[in-house]
Amino acid sequence: MKNAMNQITQFETRIKYRFNDKELLLTALTHSSYAQESGNPSGSNERLEFLGDAFFDAIIGEELYRTYPDKEEGFLSRARAAIVCEKALAAEGTRLKVGEILRLGKGEEKNGGRKRESIIADAMEAVIGAVYLDGGFSETKRVVLEMFRDLLEDAKSGRFIVRDFKTALQEVLQQHGVTDIRYIPQGEEGPDHDKTFTVRLEVEGKKISEGKGKSKKQAEQHAAEAALKRSCDVI
C-alpha cells in the first residue's frame, strides 16, 4: 500500500498536479474491469472520462483558436482531431507511465490491458476530468497544456501541418500502395435551401465509411475523417 501511494505521488509529480482528494485520482485510474471484480461497478473511471473528454476538447480547441488567429474553422477542427485522438492520448499516457498505476481486472491484466491504447487513452481523459473536479478549470487548463506542450509546440512552429482529410487519407493509403479510393454520392435529403448530402467512401471496392454534410465536398471530408479517426493519421 505504501508502494502504491508512492507511485501515485510520482504520477502527480509527472503530471505536475497534486490532488486534494486522492480518491478522485484513484477513481480516474480504475478500469471498469477492476470495478466490476471488486463489486463496485459504479466505481470505474467511465464517468470521469465523460467529463474529462469534453474539457480536453475545449482546452485544446481554445489553444488552437488562439494559436491560429487567421485559420478557418475546418483547419482548427482537423488540428484538434490530431491531438485529441486515441493514439495521441495513449502516447502521452505512456510517457506519463499511467499504465503502471492503472487498476485493472485480472482478465484485462492477462490480456495485456495495461498497454492497450484505448485503456490508457480513456484513463488519461479520466485524469483530466479528475483534475477538473479537484482543482477547477484554470488548473485543468494548465495541466492539459503542459501535458500536450510538445504537440502544441509543433503546431505553433508550423511543423504540424494539417491538410484536408481527403488528402491525408490518400497519402496514408498510398504508403500502402492503395490508390483505388472512391467517394460515391448516396443521394441528398431535405429542402432545397437545407440539403444534406451523403457520400460513401470505398477503398478498393470495399465500403470504409460514410459521411454527411451540407455539400458534397463536406460529406466527402467527413467520410475521410471517419476513416482516419482511429488511426490519428490526420497530420
The least CB distance from residue 186 to its own copies, in Å, is 9
Residue 80's nearest CA partner among 96, 99, 66 is: 66
Of 7 and 116, which has the nearer Cβ to its own copies?
116
Shortest Cβ 170–its own copies spacing (Å):
21
- Give 62 or 150: the residue with its C-beta nearer to its own copies: 62
Contacts with its own copies by CB under 8 A lie at 42, 46-47, 49-51, 54-55, 57-58, 61-62, 65, 70-73, 76-77, 111-113, 116, 118, 132, 137-138, 193-194, 196, 210, 214, 230
Distance CA 36, CA 106 (A): 11
CA distance 24 to 163: 39
What sign does the dihedral 11-13-19-20 (CA atoms) show?
Answer: positive
Q: At its nearest, how many Å lie between its own copies and the CB of residue 65? A: 5
Between 106 and 214, CB nearer to its own copies: 214
Query: Least CB distance from residue 4 to its own copies, whole Å?
Result: 26
CB 200 within 8 A of CB 223: yes
Single out the residue of 163, 167, 184 nearest to residue 235, CA to CA.
163
Least separation in angstroms between CB 171 and its own copies? 22
C-alpha cell of residue 182? 472512391
Query: Among all residues, which ones are annotated catalytic?
Result: 53, 125
**Beta-bridge mates of residue 183:** 201
Q: Which is nearer to its own copies, 158 or 187 (CB)?
A: 187
- Pairing mode, strands 196-203 and 206-213: antiparallel
Give me the sheet containing 181-189, strands edge to edge: 181-189, 196-203, 206-213
Give the amino acid at 46.
E
Q: Of 47 and 163, which has the nearer Cβ to its own copies?
A: 47
Per-residue burial over 109-130, b = 16 or more CB atoms within 10 Å of its CB, e = otherwise: eeeebbebbebbbbbbbbbbbb
